Structure formats: C-alpha cells, structure tokens
Structure 1
Amino acid sequence: MAEKLKGTTTVGIVCKDGVVLAADRRASLGNMVLSDNVTKVFWIDDHLALAGAGSVGDILSFVRLLRSEAKLYRARIGREMSVKALATLTSNILHGGRGYAYFAWFLIGGHDSAPRLYSIDAAGGLTEDRFTAAGSGMEFAFSILESGFKEDMPLEEGVKLALRAIGAATRRDVFTGGGVTLITITKEGHHEWSEEEIKALSE
C-alpha cells in the first residue's frame, strides 16, 4: 500500500457562546513534509464544522459526503441537522465502512440549542467532549488544554487556548506545523479566522 499524506494536530473547545475548531496546515508523507498549506477544518453546514486528522484524501472525501448528507437532510426535513445527528451519522458511516476504512479521526463541532463538540475515531467510536484533540501532536495539545480549559469560558479566550495548544504541538511534533486554520461556530453561524485576525489576537 502506498503511504498516505498524514500527520497533524486538531483541537476542539466548547465555550460559553460557541465552539472553536483549529488545526495546523502541514501534510507529511512518511518523514517528509509535502505541504504547509493544507486545510483540515471544514464547514459542513451553517452551524456545523469538522476538523480531521489523518489521511488528507480520506478527510476530503468524507467532507464531501457529509456536506451532501447535510444538504439532503435539510431538503427532506426542512431544517439543519443537529450537531449530535451529524456526529452519529459520522460514527455510523465509519463503523459500517469495514470494506473501506477511512484513515482519519474527526472532531465535529457546532451550535444548535447549545454549543457541542464530538470526537469520532476511525472505527466510529463516539464521545462528547468539552475539549479534545486528535492527531500526531495531540499529547502536547492536551497538556495545554487540560491546564487552560474552564467551563463557560468566553469564545475569544477559547480561541487563544486553541492557538496555544496548536503552538505547543508545533514546537514538539515534527508532523505539525505550517500555520493554523481556525473556525468558530456560534448561533449566528461559522467564521473562519484570517491570518491577520489570528496575529492580532496573539499580539
């Protein structure tokens, strides 16, 4: 089997008024860095987003599938899929895909009646979390999240914590790097932070 593009750190945090999803931008093949400009955080619907750690091709394929399912759900039911419904669908697809395994670990965040965050491993194991991380640098990210997370923290504080967690992984994990993609999801919808906004918050 050919080696796959892989290696990353993803982070999810539930805040008082929304959810933060963040990831680095590096893609590697074995021990070689192939790109520092890969997107690993994606919107699925207005109030739903996903971060993926693992095979880049599998993540992109899965995002296309979930976007189609979300559109179909909205057309059939007349409203947006809930965060739990999207997470359950993801879990069912991964668990049922024994003929073809997706080599990825997904964090799904969103805002319906409240901000919510789920972690789904490649076998479909599903957990709801207040904060979590996945990927090759997750141990370093968790060390920051464990010490810095607070219940009902403001969204801006959660963004700063996510950036610190990705920063710690970038310094210690050779497969993590290339900058940060960061999305926040509130009841108003999702917002992808620009490099200028991230830099201003870090100053």
Structure 2
Amino acid sequence: MTLILGIICKDGLVMASDTQSEFERGSPVKRINTEKLRILNNKIVIGGAGINALIDKAIRKIEEEYNLMLQNGYDDLRILIEGEENTPEKEKTINGAEYIISEIHKIYNVQRPTFIYGSPTAEESLDFYLMIGGFSYFNGIKKPDLYILYENGISEPMKDYATIGSGSAYAEYLLEKYYDNNITTDQAIKLAIFTISEAQKMDPNVGGKINIIKITNDNTQIIDQKIVENIQNEIDEKLNSIEKILKDYFTSIKKIG
C-alpha cells in the first residue's frame, strides 16, 4: 500500500511518496522506511505501487533501456515510454516502458498461471502501477512530462497531476482543490507535503516520512528531510487556525430558517 503523486509545474515537476510498505511473509509485515522513488541519470524519476517484486523488475529493465537510449543519442521521456524503432542513424531499437511492462504482465499474469494451473485460460492479476516523470520534446521544445503506466503496458500521459496507490482517492480530492496551472516547483513541494500528510490521517496504509524530488530540465533534487519537516510544521499551524475558525462557526448559536 502506498501513495505516490506527481505534479506538473511551469518550471518542472515534483514527485513525492510516503515510505510505508506492507507485504506478506507468512504473516503481514510493515516497514516505514521504504524508498519508493528511483532517480535515473539525474533526470527521470520512477515510482511504483503494487507488488514490490514486479515494480523492482520493471524499473530495472526500464533503467537498462534508458541507458541504451542515452548511448543512442536520445534523452526524451516520451521515447522511454513508447519506444523507438531502429533507424539507419540509430544502432538499436528502444523497447519502451510500455513494452517492458506488457511483457512482465504476459509472463506473470498469463503464461505463469497457464503453466501452474494447466489451463490455457487461467490468468492471475498481480497488480502494479508505475509513475514516471521527466522531460519530453513537444514541437522541438523540452517540457515537463508525466505518465502513469498500468499493469497491462498501457500508458496514460497526465496533463496536470497524477496519483497512484491506496491513498489516491484522498490525494486526488486535495489536488483537485488546490492545484493551479501556474504552480511552481517550490509551491508544488508544499502542496505535495500537505496532500500526503492529510492522506496519512485517513489511510492507515499510508505512513512514514515523506520523500520529495524536484525535477527540472537540468537535474533532479532530493528535498532534505529537515525542510520537509519544517514545511509540515508550518502547514499544521495553519490548519489548526483554520480548524478553530470552523469549529467556532459550527458550534455558534444561531437559528437557521
């Protein structure tokens, strides 16, 4: 269980996650120090929700293809997602993240159940989702780009923000209320911290410290935990003031109607 979110900004992107993870090892196990965001070549950030083993396998293979992309002169998130056919100018076809994830789905959700259960129609659903943020070229201009990739290999480009994981419903509600098309990365950092902090109050499967990564055209920056904690404290102070005002309003004696 998890919560990962991405916010597209006018000067880059922000991706954030909680650090609590839960899994079965004969009995339920919970960890609160799981790093859920992976940086590739200081330019692209990937996070996953679902079956950890499949997430790790997918990210490892995507990283291999990304390194191949760089060797072939590509540096474009869209190509990493969709892939690129071999051309005379390039040495090798790039198998995009869509292809990689669809192959994992085919092996573990289709072929493996067929082998185990002895039926050609047997299937399983080992769910996992990825979120990938970086920069792509649009009409020759490099702009922030954000995708969700589903377990069957289908990718969905996001126009403003995205969430995956068990806390998504709470996060979507808050982001819809407070996201602005002109938001900057510094503003989005505060919004991401607020969103995950509030989701932690409602979803017992979201917890631990909050990890934040800022992505710009030049590099990625991991936001220091002391900065995150200071912003959390500032947000809590403002929320306490707002809640007091609302409580006073709701409990005021005033006849209605």
TM-score by length of 2: 0.71
Residues in 2 aligned to 1:26 and 1:63: alpha-carbon distance in whole angstroms: 19
Q: 2:191 aligns with which of 161, 164, 175?
A: 161
Q: Bigger relative contact order, structure 1 or 2, given CA contacts below 8 A and separation 6+?
A: 1
CA displacement at 1:33 relative to structure 2: 4.6
Identity %: 25
Residues in 2 aligned to 1:175 and 1:21: alpha-carbon distance in whole angstroms: 19
Residue number in structure 2 paired with 1:4: none
Residues in 2 aligned to 1:148 and 1:87: alpha-carbon distance in whole angstroms: 29
Q: 1:15 aligns with which of 9, 27, 52?
A: 9
Q: Rg larger in 1 or in 2?
A: 2
Seen in structure 2, the aligned counterparts of structure 1 residues 139 and 22 have a Cα distance that, compared at 3 Å, is same
Residue number in structure 2 paired with 1:148: 178
Q: 1:94 aligns with which of 101, 110, 113?
A: 101
Residues in 2 aligned to 1:70 and 1:56: alpha-carbon distance in whole angstroms: 21
Q: 2:36 aligns with which of 33, 40, 54?
A: 40
Residues in 2 aligned to 1:35 and 1:189: alpha-carbon distance in whole angstroms: 30
Other structure's SS at 1:100 match: helix
Q: 1:136 aligns with which of 161, 166, 170?
A: 166
In structure 2, stretches of 5+ residues that fail to align are: 83-95, 110-125, 137-141, 235-257
The one-letter amino acid of 2:39's match is W
- Say whether residues 1:78 and 2:70 are aligned partners: no
Runs of 4+ in 1 over 4 A off after TM superposition: none
The one-letter amino acid of 2:14's match is V
Residue number in structure 1 paired with 2:237: none
The one-letter amino acid of 2:149's match is I
- Say whether residues 1:125 and 2:133 are aligned partners: no
Other structure's SS at 1:119 match: strand
Moved more, 40-49 or 193-202: 193-202
CA displacement at 1:78 relative to structure 2: 2.5
| Contact 1:17–1:154 (8 Å) recurs in 2 | yes
Residue number in structure 1 paired with 2:52: 56
The one-letter amino acid of 1:111's match is F
How many equivalent pairs are there? 195
Seen in structure 2, the aligned counterparts of structure 1 residues 33 and 146 have a Cα distance that, compared at 3 Å, is farther
CA displacement at 1:46 relative to structure 2: 2.4
| Contact 2:17–2:211 (8 Å) recurs in 1 | yes
Residues in 2 aligned to 1:51 and 1:111: alpha-carbon distance in whole angstroms: 16
| Contact 1:22–1:180 (8 Å) recurs in 2 | yes
